[in-house]
């Protein structure tokens, strides 16, 4: 069974879920969500900019898994951050997903009218259409600016996080403010170098697991949430099969020691530009 972690909102969030970034084929997205839920996943992560919210919603509704057992996350894009736009964008996400209230809503990037969007998200919590709110790709300085104005503090910060990039400045700050770290790129974008590290390979051999499973188990034992992406049913099932073993303190220390001094992906400012509109030429799905 997937373990969960408490959020400051009072709810609990599964520690392992399915990410659907770049899964733009409608049928593939729906089937991947169904496959994940059928394999025991209870966390599904999407975003407005992924343009697959409708497919995610259909996958959830057709899965046979009760909605109350599923933790559903989506994100607002910066072009929708002004208060009125954010209110409309939240309504749009609810309509596209068609799965009732959101369990978690994130600001996707730390640019634009962050405070205006945050007020709209706080109002959505008050109205009961969103359970918890958080951020993605926010640094310490970004969080400090938000916390100075927030009525409801962020529950989650979704960032690049894996053994090669362990966010040495950010993680202590998140712990201090009871903000849960959630990992995109939990496998370092499937880095072959990372998967071949002796500390990872040795632990995999010791437990009869794959290198991927060892890294995902490392995330769980560090207290992170991780959302590996896959559209392969076999890989989806294998990725969640990490709750029947435990890495030893020495194995954890060996993987901890792999930390590098920079992330593998640096997001360009143009990608995060608030003036970059969310393209909606034709809704997928």
Catalytic annotation, residues:
50
| Residues 259, 18: Cα–Cα separation, whole Å | 24
**Strand boundaries in the chain, DSSP class E:** 4-6, 12-14, 18-19, 43-45, 71-76, 102-107, 130-136, 156-160, 180-184, 225-226
Instruction: Tell me, rounded to whole angstroms, the distance of Cα 182 from its chain centroid.
Output: 5
Instruction: Say if CB 157 and CB 107 are below 8 A apart.
Output: no
| Tokens standing for residue 164 | 């090669």
DSSP state of 127: T
Instruction: Say if CB 134 and CB 184 are below 8 A apart.
Output: no
If you write DSSP's letter for every residue of 88-105 in order, what string do you get? Answer: HHHHHHHHHH-SSSEEEE
Instruction: Say if CB 239 and CB 230 are below 8 A apart.
Output: yes
| Residues 85, 47: Cα–Cα separation, whole Å | 16
**Residue whose C-alpha is closest to residue 62's, from 88, 106, 17, 98:** 98
Alpha helices in 24-169 (DSSP H): 26-38, 53-61, 83-97, 114-126, 140-147
């Amino acid at each position: 069974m997937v373990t969960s972690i408490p959020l400051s909102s009072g709810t609990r969030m599964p520690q392992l879920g399915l990410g659907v970034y770049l899964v733009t084929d409608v049928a593939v997205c729906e089937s991947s969500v169904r496959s994940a839920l059928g394999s025991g996943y209870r966390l599904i992560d999407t975003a407005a900019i992924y343009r697959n919210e409708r497919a995610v919603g259909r996958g959830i509704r057709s899965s046979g898994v009760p909605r109350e057992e599923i933790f559903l996350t989506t994100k607002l894009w910066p072009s929708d951050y002004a208060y009125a736009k954010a209110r409309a964008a939240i309504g749009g996400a609810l309509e596209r997903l068609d799965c009732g209230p959101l369990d978690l809503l994130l600001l996707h990037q730390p640019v634009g009218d962050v405070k205006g969007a945050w007020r709209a998200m706080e109002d959505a919590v008050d109205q009961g259409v969103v359970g918890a709110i958080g951020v993605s790709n926010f640094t310490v300085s970004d969080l400090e600016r938000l916390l100075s104005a927030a009525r409801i503090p962020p529950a989650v910060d979704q960032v690049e996080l894996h053994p090669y990039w362990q966010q040495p400045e950010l993680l202590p700050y998140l712990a201090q403010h009871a903000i849960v770290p959630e990992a995109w790129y939990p496998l370092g974008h499937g880095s072959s170098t990372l998967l071949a590290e002796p500390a990872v390979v040795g632990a995999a051999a010791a437990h009869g697991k794959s290198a991927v499973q060892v890294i995902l188990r490392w995330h769980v034992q560090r207290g992170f949430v991780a959302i590996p992406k896959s559209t392969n049913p076999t890989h989806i099932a294998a990725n969640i099969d990490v709750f029947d073993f435990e890495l030893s303190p020495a194995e954890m220390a060996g993987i901890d020691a792999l930390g590098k001094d920079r992330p593998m992906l640096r997001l360009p400012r143009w990608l995060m530009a608030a003036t970059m509109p969310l393209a909606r030429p034709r809704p997928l799905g």
